[in-house]
Amino acid sequence: MAEKRSPNATPLACIILAAGLGTRMRSELPKVLHPLAGVPMIRHVLLACAELLPERLAVVIGPKMEAIAQAVAPHKCVVQPEPLGTGDAVKAAKGELKGFTGDVIVLFGDAPLVTADSLRALQQKRQETKAAIVVAGFRPEDPSPYGRLILDGKGQLTAIIETADATPEQRAISLCNGGIMLFDSGKLAKWLDQLRNDNAKKEYYLTDCIALAVKAGEACAVAEMPEDEVLGINTRVELAAAEKLMQKRLRVHAMLNGATLADPSTVYLAADAKIGHDVSIGPNVVIGPGVEIANKVEIRAFCHLEQVRIEEGAVIGPFARLRPGSVIGAGAHIGNFVEIKNSDIGKNAKINHLSYIGDASIGAKTNIGAGTITCNYDGFRKYRTEIGAEVFIGSNTCLVAPVKVGDGAYVGAGSTITMEVPANTLAVARGRQANVEDWVQKFKSRQDAERGGKDS
């Protein structure tokens, strides 16, 4: 990790379980790679862990899950050969903990709403109680589907009871198991070796470590978390619910950091969006992955942005689409129904109406007229258009790439430009207008005569 931990902080390792097949997603894409706020859900878990600056981090995957390994790189992945339960999954990562002494947090790649603050709460609880295990607890409105956390009179965790095994008194308990667990690394390896699979599924459950710890006289504790932070995703319905929660979180973060959202519930933000202060975002705006928005930018209604950088003071939209690889210069105006792709738009340039600019460089203070198109594709390859500074491109112009227009040049409206236009030059490339006198009357008379002949 780039930063360094406090010398007084307990060393930390994180193990993220991501070996599940996710069959209920009905998808060829591994479950933890389904996007949430434009980012694979497991990346959210990695980012939460990264804030704690762990000394070690490993992701447990199943066989033939190379796509997950690529998505989490450069973090180390270990393979759980068979799906034999959470305890077996953590056991597969034991090699990554060799020689490590400190706290070990085990969490899930399909629970992407967890925050670094809640993970810190697990560490804080361990420091306060000296517990060998700290379990994340939560209090849902409907606890019936979840395992209950059983506490003694001193508030120590003594057992985790699944709903099917719970007595009526235990089912009345509102404190439920959130799944995330923190272990004393010095004791975890021993308990993993003692886990048994004498249950209906013949699996090794990590939660059975609680009973082993209690039997050994070790203290176990609970750190409570908000319900949404332990939300696991198993279906696309649950993914949609998580998206709604994540969007609310991202909108609040953007507004608290100085952005104005005119109608927050209609704005969709990617998790990696970087938004400056005094930014104004209108309704029905989508800010996709890889977007950087500088200070004092205005994004008007119904815009769609993805992998683009917008410099200070630019105005975008309404109804503009900015596609990957584009940079919009300071003070530039990109207007309604304008599409920009893989292009550099210079400072104070204007492209205000109904245009497509793809694979192009537009100089400072250049004005692109309505209906202008850069014809960048010949059916086989894409080519670049280079337009200099303070150029005027007339309306309804086609620029057939590769082509250059020099600084200060003018291009007449309706032109199709196929050759270089030198600086400070007027280019007009269109057929000469011809007016035919009395043509309209003759044409109408001929048409009337033809219709009359048919009627007779």
The model's confidence at residue 102, banded by pLDDT at 50, 70 and 90, is very high
State residue 1's pLDDT score: 38
Is residue 277 annotated as part of the catalytic site, yes or no? no
In order of 50, 59, 74, 188, the CA distances from 13 in angstroms are: 11, 11, 16, 12
Residue 71 scores a pLDDT above 50: yes
pLDDT digits (tens, 9 = 90+) for 112-145: 999 999 999 999 999 999 999 999 999 999 998 9
Q: Which residues have a Cβ under 8 Å from the Cβ of 281 and sit 6 or more positions away?
A: 254, 259, 260, 261, 262, 267, 275, 287, 299
- 185-189 long-range contacts (CB < 8 A, ≥24 apart) are 185/13, 185/97, 185/100, 185/101, 185/102, 185/103, 185/104, 186/101, 187/132, 187/213, 187/216, 187/218, 188/90, 188/97, 188/104, 189/94, 189/97
The model's confidence at residue 336, banded by pLDDT at 50, 70 and 90, is very high
Most confident range (mean pLDDT) of 3-12, 192-201, 299-308 is 299-308
Best CA proximity match to 47, nearest among 250, 240, 222, 238: 250
Q: What is the pTM of this model?
A: 0.89
* Of 349 and 448, more confident: 349
Q: Which residues have a Cβ under 8 Å from the Cβ of 250 and sit 6 or more positions away?
A: 37, 269, 271, 273
Percentage of residues of the chain with pLDDT beyond 90: 91
Q: Whole-angstrom Cα distance, residue 401 to residue 176?
A: 63
Percentage of residues of the chain with pLDDT beyond 70: 97
pLDDT digits (tens, 9 = 90+) for 376-406: 999 999 999 999 999 999 999 999 999 999 9
The model's confidence at residue 5, banded by pLDDT at 50, 70 and 90, is low
Q: Which residues have a Cβ under 8 Å from the Cβ of 149 and sit 6 or more positions away?
A: 135, 137, 157, 160, 173, 175, 176, 177, 222
Q: Which residues have a Cβ under 8 Å from the Cβ of 47 and sit 6 or more positions away?
A: 271
Residue 8 scores a pLDDT above 70: no
Catalytic residue among 75, 253, 304, 353: 353
pLDDT digits (tens, 9 = 90+) for 248-293: 999 999 999 999 999 999 999 999 999 999 999 999 999 999 999 9
Spatial contact of 180 and 129, defined as CB atoms under 8 Å apart = no
Mean pLDDT of the chain: 94
pLDDT digits (tens, 9 = 90+) for 145-179: 999 999 998 899 999 998 888 899 999 999 999 99
State residue 79's pLDDT score: 96
Spatial contact of 192 and 127, defined as CB atoms under 8 Å apart = no
